[in-house]
Amino acid sequence: MGIGKLFRLMGNKGMRKLKDYNPGNCPVVYSLNKIGNRWKLLVIHYIKQGHNRYSTLQKVIPDISRQTLTNQLRELEADGILERKVFPQIPPKVEYQLTELGFSLQPIINEMSKWGLRHVRPDSDMPKG
């Protein structure tokens, strides 16, 4: 049975696709399972820059849907990369911060930024960040 069929059969039971899929216990696959989608590195990057509330993350990543942002924040928290802090007030205030594990990703993100600066086309519509 293929992986796709397996996940369709499992339905939505709070498990994300391919979370633990890692044939051969490869460290690259492990890393990609944790941070390797379109949005997670951006979320980590902007939280490090001080955009630590849901609404500010939506503003600095305008193309992300509300549901996707919520899912990415939950997954990063479940993986121990982010910590969610709820302030006991009305209305509730929630902030996100990097954990020690999250901070350990900074050298990787910094190198990706350097690589991008060297190779991005000048006429690209990519935001500078």
Is 29 a member of any domain?
no
pLDDT digits (tens, 9 = 90+) for 87-111: 999 988 999 999 999 999 999 999 9
When pLDDT is cut at 50, 70 and 90, the band that residue 121 belongs to is: confident
Identify the domain containing residue 44 by its residue range.
38-120
Q: What is the CATH number of the domain that holds 60?
A: 1.10.10.10
* Residues in a beta bridge with 94: 86
Q: How many domains does the chain have?
A: 1
Give this prediction's pTM.
Answer: 0.75
End-to-end CA distance of the chain: 42
Closest of 38, 27, 43, 45 to residue 113, by C-alpha: 45
Say if residue 7's pLDDT is above 90.
Answer: no
Decide if 97 contacts 89 (C-beta within 8 A): no
24 is a domain residue:
no
Structure tokens at 123: 């006429």
Domain annotation covers residue 33 = no
Average pLDDT over residues 4-24: 53
Cα separation, 50 vs 46, in Å, equals 6
DSSP, residue by residue, 12-26: SSSPPTTTT--GGG-
Beta bridge partners of 53: none
Region of poorest pLDDT, from 26-30, 96-100, 107-111, 120-124 = 120-124
More confident of the two residues 39 and 125: 39
Residue 19 lies in a domain: no
